[in-house]
Structure 1
Amino acid sequence: MTTTTATPAPPFGRALCAMITPFTDSGALDLDGAQRLADLLVTEGCDGLVLSGTTGESPTTTDAEKSALVRAVREAVGERASIVAGVGTADTRHTVELTLAAEKAGADGVLVVTPYYSRPPQDAVEEHFRTVADASELPVVLYDIPGRTGTRIEPDTMLRLAAHPRIVAVKDCSYDFLGTQKVLSRTELAYYAGCEEHILALYAVGGSGYISTVANLVPRQLRSILDAFDAGDTARAARLQQQATELIESTMAAGLPGTVTVKALLNDLGRPAGPVRAPLRPAGRETADGLRSAYERLRAA
């Protein structure tokens, strides 16, 4: 007789959106817009929202704005979706302060990026994450994105960190699929694809879902990839992943940050977004038109 072990439920759901932070035309935090966008994303299939991450322009929002955003989005979505607050900085002490503030504001977890610019060695990276995880009762998502931080969370470091009771998940932008599978095979960490082109591939080898910038635009379409796979229709899942490729490339690999491209298209669609904050600059009309065309083709597929 064959026995099976149930796969643990993902700690924050499967389909998570790395939500943009809406601003008013004058550049102020638009909490009303954030609430409307959050409600729309959850209604359209997002299990969770990640606030104040890369896409949420965390380097240019204040600590007070980050807390206010968590409170406002919690009010809008209630318990319909999990809220993960981006708290990562280059300073361990500051990261701890933001973690405690996110806990007080009502977040369900925190997203902690590898300290950037100073490029700490692996023992220091490990200590940074442990210090943050020890600081509150919130579960921690490690954010591995060496292309932005300059420092990997090496697989062996991940294996050690996985033993911490509050380090529960990884947002994986490492582009090291072998290293990811090594950690997946030896830990119970929930791995979320942070790169949309890897949604199906990572899910198929045991990942938990995704934390997606493109989900700001097409939450239902991206969720359908996971739903098709779960239903056993792997051919449909592959087709849906392929159909999303054009919009993923236009949004994430066209030479502009995803925040810029997503806000351009959301503004074009009349949804809450507003401007980006300097040093980012808005996308031009040609870029916005190309995004709209790719979006319409995916919606019609």
Structure 2
Amino acid sequence: MTKQAFVALVTCFNEDETVNYQATRAQVRRQVEAGNNIMCAGTNGDFSALTFEEKVRLTEEVVDEVGGRVRVIVNAGMPATFETLKLAREFDRIGVTGIAVITPFFIACTQDGLIRHFSTVADAVTTPVYLYDIPARTQNHIEPETARTLAGHGNIAGIKDSGGARETLEAYLQVAKEVDGFEVYSGPDHLVLWALQNGAAGCISGLGNAMPQVLADLLKAYNVGDIAQAEKQQATFAAFRTDLYALGFAPAMVKRALYLQDSSVGASRQPALLPNAEQDEKIAGILRRYGLL
């Protein structure tokens, strides 16, 4: 099976913090031209700062811009099943490739509660649903046995693992080996090649916003069996990740690195970190070192 790279696309904003849909479309074109698929309204897309109506329009704009050239996954996850369901039905109507559902945040959930939450959404749409685990941000974690239970649902197609722990990723990959049709997408950018070599269907990367071609080339090399080239691209990707993320909160650093390449993406909505001249110079130095500026 051909492995797939998705970029967890940034959402672009104007100076007044309204969504800049035209600039977002430009970022879609940039990723499509590199050869990457799109995930929108995810962690790197400031999804928690977007309104219901903005998420719906954002998805419509992205799907229209893609025009069927690549796959589009959109995150519908919200704290309550009720709103998640409403969003998922809208995305189902729009016609995306997949609907990701991040674990509820703020509301502490039992594993049974997570099973009810994800199953309710998957029951209500025809678009394949992907579980989305990122416990550091949501404080809720999909245990591997819970993933195994949900993998038996006819409309739950896989999971995005953004936990960062190789042991958890291994456990999810074991579920994929045992349950036909259940796919695992790796979130940690330093584990892309390892995940591919161990059965992942692909990756969903935030860092790919700032370094799209290296990500695309990593997947291309792997898919044609050029492991030496894939290892070279992974080493570059991982080193860039280490250097950039040493400066602060990962999504904020990705957005700022992209801003310094193309200011039309704008800043994130407040209360995200404000731009800092000293930090910007450090980021610019990293971008120059990797030939991105």
Unpaired segments ≥5 residues, structure 1: 1-6
The answer to whether structure 1 residue 221 and structure 2 residue 210 are counterparts is no
1:158 aligns with 2:147: yes
What SS is found at the alignment partner of 2:73?
Answer: strand
Letter in 1 for 2:16: S
The secondary structure found in structure 1 opposite 2:132 is strand
Distance 1:184 1:283 in 2: 41
Give yes or no for contact 1:68–1:105 (8 Å, CA) kept in 2.
no
The reply to whether residue 37 of structure 1 matches residue 30 of structure 2 is no
Between the aligned partners of 1:232 and 1:168, the Cα distance in structure 2 is 26
Deviation of 1:25 after TM superposition, in Å, equals 1.0
Pair 1:173-2:166 in alignment: no
Runs of 4+ in 1 over 4 A off after TM superposition: none
Partner of 1:4: none
- Give me the identity figure in percent: 28
Q: Does 1:17 align with 2:11?
A: no
Deviation at 1:77, TM superposition (A): 1.5
Give the CA deviation at 1:288.
Answer: 2.4
Q: Are the counterparts in 2 of residues 145 and 152 from structure 1 also a CA contact under 8 Å?
A: yes
Contact 2:134/2:141 (8 A) holds in 1? yes
Q: Which residue of 2 aligns with 1:146?
A: 135
- Root-mean-square deviation (CA, aligned residues, Å) is 1.7
Distance 2:243 2:101 in 1: 27
CA deviation map 1:141-200 (0-9, x unaligned): 110111111121111111111111211121111312332332232223211111101101
Deviation at 1:36, TM superposition (A): 1.2
Distance in 2 (CA, whole Å) between partners of 1:49 and 1:25 is 25
> After alignment, is 107-116 or 178-187 more displaced?
178-187
Give the equivalent residue in structure 2 for 1:95.
Answer: 84
Q: Offset at 1:220?
A: 1.3
Task: List gaps (5 residues or longer) in structure 2.
Answer: none
Aligned length, in residue pairs: 288
Query: What does 1:1-301 correspond to in 2, within 5 Å?
Result: 7=1, 14-46=4-36, 48-174=37-163, 175=165, 176-187=168-179, 188-258=181-251, 260-299=252-291
Per the alignment, in what secondary structure is the counterpart of residue 44 of structure 2? coil
Partners of 2:274 and 2:90 in 1: how far apart?
30
Aligned mates of 2:32, 2:112 — CA distance in 1: 38
Structure-2-length-normalised TM-score: 0.92
The 2-side partners of 1:211 and 1:289 are apart by 28
Cα separation, 1, equivalents of 2:27 and 2:95? 18
Could you say which structure has the higher helix fraction?
A: 2
